[in-house]
Amino acid sequence: MVVLLCFSTTALSRNYSLLRFQQRRSDTVCQKLLRQLPSTPQHCLEVRMDFQVPEEVKQAQQFQKEDAVLVTYEMLQQIFGILTRDFSSTGWSETIIEDLLVELQGQMDHLEPIQKETMQKKNFTRGDMTVPHLKKYYFNLGQYLKSMEYNSCAWTVMRAEMLRNFSFLKSLTGYLSD
């Protein structure tokens, strides 16, 4: 049974507890969808690199809720961008990828009013410093895919990296509270 909750943008931007609930649910859905994608043989993980997730993301306890919103939004945008690249060599289900993209877009839609409000009020402490580090990290992921010619092993590595990202996102989501 699906329950739809409707709130105005203003009410939503002030209800971090609801946002935390929505984000946690959506993170779980995204992880389940990623796990449904077949992965290629274990040897593909041998070509894995250390993409150097920014330390700030690994140590999210330093973030305030506004920082968590900025960082989460940026991560979701970047993951969305990666998943819209050529994955035809993987044998992955287009339906699962589409469902994943819809879920990511829904998360971004929930976060966007708060992200814009936070940016306008400059109501953050560390999030704006973390975003450039995230952009570099995701640029490196994209370069890796490109250098590997979007082959199935590269996508197996990306799948593992995206699952890792959703683990970080779940941690960040814990800092969204009223």
Q: Which of 168, 163, 150, 137 is nearest to 49 (CA)?
A: 137
**Residues in the chain with pLDDT < 50?**
1-13
Q: What is the pLDDT of residues 57-107, one digit of tens each?
A: 887 777 788 888 889 999 999 999 999 998 888 889 999 999 999 999 999
**Cβ neighbours of residue 168 under 8 Å, at least 6 residues apart?**
53, 57, 58, 60, 75
pTM: 0.85
Considering Cα of 165, then 8, then 114, then 171, what sign does the dihedral take?
A: negative
Distances (CA, A) of 161 to 28, 52, 56: 15, 11, 17
Report the number of secondary-structure helices (H) and strands (E) in the chain: 7, 0
